[in-house]
Structure 1
Amino acid sequence: MSYQFTIIVPVFNEKDCLPELFIQLKEYLPKASLSTKILLVDDGSSDGSSELIQQFCLENEHFGCLIFEQNFGKGAALKAAFDHCDTEYLGYLDADLQTYPEDFERLLPLLGEYDLVTGWRKERKDSVVKKISSKVGNGIRIMFTNDQMHDTGCPLKVMKTSYAKKIPMFKGLQRFLPAMILLQNGIITEVEIPHYPRLAGVSKYSFKNRFMGPLLDCFAYVWMKKSYINYKVRSADE
């Protein structure tokens, strides 16, 4: 089968969320506006998530997986998936199901005009501490990147794979996907999407890693921006 769109799902210790995640992904596939496959990336889970993922992918068409030997972080999981992807378009979704696969249909129609479309969780269903820490981290990022996105941390995005593959690997890259598309002279936008309470498991984030992590990663981004070369090949003789 020829696929047009790959949904990437980074997973780290989300065993309790996986059964419902699998159901929602399977239900979305027949409704998707593009021919779609799923790539689950287990980031060194220690709770049995990787075993569930491998078994599910063996038993279900349109599903594949990458299993890390240890925990490397969401940025590494996304970068590995970008490099592995062979479809024209890709998107990503968190395993905690605070955003739903069906909402890709709010973003995908805009990929003709834009190179990246990100969700905006305008009505967050999170704790007060999580909302405040995210707002602070978001404000810091905008000061460094000027990407003007309200919610770059939203775990629902779609983009053209050709742009994603040119994003270099660095820690925290998931926070800078819109900014990295801008470095390639790409065009970005955001769309309001619903946000849902976490059904199971626990959040992997705290005020410390939502504030200090983004702050330190911003300095890495500044270095990356100065060093980044957006080359284009005029011709190739293979």
Structure 2
Amino acid sequence: MSYRLTIVVPVYNEEDNLQRVEKEFLQYFKMATVPCKILFVNDGSKDKSQYYIEEICNRDERFTYISFAQNAGLSAAIKAGFDHTDTPLVGYIDADLQTTPEDFNKLLDEMDDCVLVTGVRADRKDSFVKNMSSKIANGIRRAFTHDGMDDTGCPLKIIQTDYAKRIPMFKGLHRFLPAMILLQNGKIKQVPVRHFPRIAGEAKFGLWNRLLGPLMDCFAYLWMKKKYINYTVEKTSRG
């Protein structure tokens, strides 16, 4: 099969969610608008996540994995997923499935004229504190980046792979993916997607890394924007 989309699923201590991830994607494969496959990135999990990942991959060749020697963080897991993708498009979804794979079709519908399409979580099913901290953090980030995106923390995105591979990732930069595509002069768009309560496992982000951490990352982004190198090759000696 000629796959068009690789969906990266970062995993950190999600043993209670992985069988549901398998079930949801087996359903999505039947309705996906392009042929796709899954790439688990095990970010140094200390539970039985790796065991379940290998079981899933052994059952179906559309599921693949890479596993870190130790925990490196969400941005590193996403970057590794981008680096190991060999399809024209690369997507991303969290293993907690607070967003649904079905909504990848909504994003794919908008990819014809876009480099990146990201979801916006409609009617979020999180706590008041989590919703407010995310809203404040998004407002601060927009003021720094001017990317026009309302919810860059939404764990549902699709990017053209050649652009994704050129993103210089560092810790926390997963929130700045749309802004980094704009630095490459790529078109971005946001699409409303569904959001669900977390059923199992524990959230990996608290108030600090949801609000204060991203504020510090904004200054890192401004430094990178000033130093960012972008070029277009017009022609070569080989034509």
When the two structures are superposed, what TM-score results if normalisation uses the length of structure 2?
0.96
Between the aligned partners of 1:14 and 1:229, the Cα distance in structure 2 is 37
**Does the residue aligned with 1:86 lie in a helix, a strand or coil?**
coil
* Aligned position for 1:69: 69
1:66-215 equivalent positions in 2, closer than 5 A? 66-215=66-215
Post-superposition shift, 1:220?
A: 1.1
1:209 CA drift (Å): 1.1
CA RMSD, Structure 1 to Structure 2 (Å): 1.3
2:51 is aligned with 1:51: yes
Q: CA deviation at 1:237?
A: 4.6
Residue by residue over 1:14-69, the C-alpha shift from the partner in whole angstroms, topping out at 9 and shown as x without a partner, is: 11111111100111112111011110101000011112112211221211001001
Q: Which amino acid aligns with 1:235?
A: T
The Cα of 1:236 is off from its aligned counterpart by 6.5
C-alpha distance in structure 2 between counterparts of 1:235 and 1:86, whole Å: 25
CA distance in 2: counterparts of 1:193 and 1:222, whole angstroms: 29
Please list every run of 5 or more consecutive structure 2 residues that lacks an aligned counterpart in the other structure.
Answer: none
* Deviation of the 1:2 alpha carbon: 1.3
| Cα distance, 1:145 vs structure 2 | 0.5
Q: Which 4+ residue blocks in structure 1 deviate beyond 4 angstroms? A: none
Equivalent position of 1:27 in the other structure:
27
Q: Distance in 2 between matches of 1:182 and 1:190?
A: 13
* Cα distance in 2 between the residues matched to 1:45 and 1:216: 27
- What is the CA–CA distance in structure 2 between the aligned matches of 1:57 and 1:237, rounded to whole Å? 42
Find the residue that maps to 1:69 and give its secondary structure. Answer: coil
Q: 1:37 to 1:223 in 2, by over 3 A?
A: same
User: Among the aligned pairs, what percent are the same residue?
Assistant: 56
The superposition leaves residues 71-102 of structure 1 with CA deviations (integer Å, 9 ceiling, x where unpaired) of 10110011111111111111111000100001
Aligned counterparts of 1:236 and 1:161: Cα–Cα separation in 2: 26
Indicate the SS of the match to 1:170: coil
Q: Counterpart of 2:176 in 1: which secondary structure?
A: helix
List per-residue Cα deviations over 1:153-212 (Å, max 9, x = no partner).
Answer: 000011111110110121112100000000000001101111001111111111111112
Report the Cα distance in structure 1 between the residues aligned to 2:232 and 2:47, rounded to whole angstroms: 43
- Does residue 235 in structure 1 map to residue 231 in structure 2? no
What is the identity, as a one-letter code, of the residue corresponding to 1:15? E
TM-score (norm 1): 0.97
Aligned residues: 238
Aligned equivalents of 2:144, 2:162: Cα separation in 1: 25
Output the CA distance in 2 between the equivalents of 1:143 and 1:48. 41
